[in-house]
Amino acid sequence: MRGPHNIWRLIRTGATFERTGAMGVALEAMDAPRPLRVAARILGWPFKWLGHKGDPAQPPVTRALTALGPAYIKFGQILSTRPDVVGPELAQQLMVLQDKLPPFPRAEAMRVVEAELGQPVEAMFSDFSEPVAAASIAQVHKATSADDGRQVAVKVLRPGIERAFSRDIDAFYFAAAMIEALSPASRRLRPRDVIAHFEGVVAGELDMRLETSAASEFAENTEGDEGFIVPRPFWPLSSRHVMTLEWAEGIPLNDLAAIDAAGHDRVALGERVLSLFLRHALRDGLFHADMHQGNLKVAPGGEIIALDFGIMGRIDEYTRRVYAEILMGFIRKDYKRVAEVHFEAGYVPADRDVDEFARALRAVGEPIFGMDATHISMARLLSYLFEVTERFGMETRTELILLQRTMVVVEGVARSLHPNINIWQAARPVVEDYVKRNVGPAALLHDLKETARVAIRFGPRLPALLERALIAQATPPPPRPSGGPLWGRLAWAGLGAALALAAVALLDML
């Protein structure tokens, strides 16, 4: 499908960007090469009258994407996770991209539910409300379970949304190929890789079974977290196009007047949002990667409720340790250690000078830490850090981009609740606790334990290894110095046996 028929879609897109004033803003933010800017203007300006007008109250790029529809809205949301592509300032604007669209009819939603779950709606739900929220991919209905009378939230995928997204993604790929052909210099922005990343994220969101799985895992991980609620999913009432969760009543986190009227402590809420995010990212390696105010509520008891699990972030244990050490180094102003961690992790090429990198990091940190607490910004720090790491040849760490972007979003949420919050002071206890448990003697013991488990799994293979070594010795090769094949293999077998025995002893002690 990626052919000339997509030209009309590109013309309409360029015309909308031109009409809303988004064209110049977007190209400037991405530092687009001149040939690409000229081509974009040629594509957009003559057809400006064909573009959508959009909402003048919104920033230009947000206005254009919202006017162009669901796929463009979602694309903007994904781009907000890529400050390395669109720049920190535009990424910040896209974080608040409005994801509200007119709902589709209740009757259509009920038809989808019946088709997916194989039963009449009345058999599953004693009541099924009109839409209570509508977004680019799905909408939510409040219902009551016919089995036990519990209130639930039923999320239903928009009919035809998969085909619509497929069509628009096709046009995006076509645009990316044109950009790379017209301007080879633009390849550093990796347009096709960006579209592929977008396609992968959307593919996950278009299958409600994956979101249901994420909600289930997140709920299990956070079950013991005080002051935090994740609605549990109902698997029998969920499928590819439908997801059913517990209903969670609460005040949206952006309704400050209602939060104050209910008597909730906004200072405590702001600090809790930040500490919960860090705890989930560092402790579990699974975190909510779309923690804006629209996906967070305050329960009557003061707990924070998380909603919408379409975008979740994962980081492995090693990366968590690296990230924690980097954060801890900045908190302690130990710039040499922050530099060393970057080198140890292979984030910065080994041929660069670690002391020079540490000085550059000090230039990033000191001006920020010298500010009043109300101006200490994670967003500003990450913006400067991107500049420094690029200068030292650090490649984009895709596993950290979503984590960094979410940290910026969480900072914004925390500041909206508590403008004077000291981000680093709130983060320090969580990071210190993680470092204490996972970096140092405790981490070494854990690593030895895991190594022992691996060694034990090879234990049953030792007899076969010895047998093969003895059979091979029955037909000896030409004479070799002592320490040849037999003794070498026996030595490895003996080492393996010793490791296995040591592992058993270690596990018994643990």
Cβ-contact 159, 136 below 8 angstroms: no
* Cα–chain center distance at 250: 25
Whether 113 and 78 share a structural domain: no
Q: What is the pTM of this model?
A: 0.73
For residues 243 and 234, what is the distance between their CA atoms, to the nearest angstrom?
Answer: 8
Q: What is the CATH number of the domain that holds 116?
A: 3.30.200.20
Q: How confident is the model at residue 55 (pLDDT cuts 50, 70, 90)?
A: confident
> Would the pLDDT of 2 be above 50?
yes
| Boundary-marking domain end, from 439, 465, 486 | 439
In this structure, is residue 65 part of a structural domain? yes
Please tell me the predicted confidence (pLDDT) of residue 90: 79
- Lowest-pLDDT range, 156-170, 441-455, 477-491? 477-491
Structural domains in the chain (count): 4
Tens digits of residue pLDDT in 297-312:
999 999 999 999 988 8
Please tell me the predicted confidence (pLDDT) of residue 50: 73
For residues 486 and 489, what is the distance between their CA atoms, to the nearest angstrom?
Answer: 5
Average pLDDT, integer, range 23-48: 71
In this structure, is residue 425 part of a structural domain? yes
Average pLDDT, integer, range 492-502: 42
Type of residue numbered 339: A
The 3-state DSSP composition of the chain as helix, strand, coil percent (nearest 5) reads 65, 10, 25
Whether 417 and 498 share a structural domain: no
Tens digits of residue pLDDT in 266-300:
999 999 999 999 999 989 999 998 888 888 999 99
Whether 177 and 267 share a structural domain: no
Average pLDDT, integer, range 73-78: 78
Whether 271 and 332 share a structural domain: yes
> What 3-state DSSP class applies to 157?
strand
Residue 290 annotated to the active site = yes
Whether 335 and 256 share a structural domain: yes
Average pLDDT, integer, range 218-222: 95
In this structure, is residue 56 part of a structural domain? yes
Average pLDDT, integer, range 454-463: 67
| Boundary-marking domain end, from 384, 416, 439 | 439
In this structure, is residue 69 part of a structural domain? yes
Whether 260 and 280 share a structural domain: yes
Whether 94 and 226 share a structural domain: no
In this structure, is residue 444 part of a structural domain? no
Strands (E), 334-461: none
The CA-CA-CA angle for residues 394, 26, 29, to 5°, reads: 35
> Would the pLDDT of 362 be above 50?
yes
In this structure, is residue 360 part of a structural domain? yes
- In this structure, what token pair is assigned to residue 441? 């003697």
For residues 108 and 95, what is the distance between their CA atoms, to the nearest angstrom?
Answer: 31
* Nearest Cα to Cα of residue 381 among 88, 33, 23: 88
Please tell me the predicted confidence (pLDDT) of residue 5: 63
Whether 297 and 376 share a structural domain: yes
Whether 147 and 255 share a structural domain: no
| Boundary-marking domain end, from 439, 459, 479 | 439
Whether 259 and 146 share a structural domain: no
Rg value, the chain, Cα: 27
Whether 186 and 199 share a structural domain: yes
Quote the domain boundaries for residue 70: 4-99+165-204
Active-site position among 225, 290, 355, 372: 290
- In this structure, what token pair is assigned to residue 158? 């928009």
DSSP-assigned beta bridge partners for residue 141: 131, 154
Whether 128 and 147 share a structural domain: yes
The answer for residues whose C-beta is within 8 angstroms of residue 105's C-beta and 6 or more apart is none
Cβ-contact 205, 71 below 8 angstroms: no
In this structure, is residue 324 part of a structural domain? yes
- In this structure, what token pair is assigned to residue 389? 């790491």
Type of residue numbered 95: M
> What 3-state DSSP class applies to 121?
helix
Dihedral sign, Cα of residue 6, residue 8, residue 13, residue 18:
positive
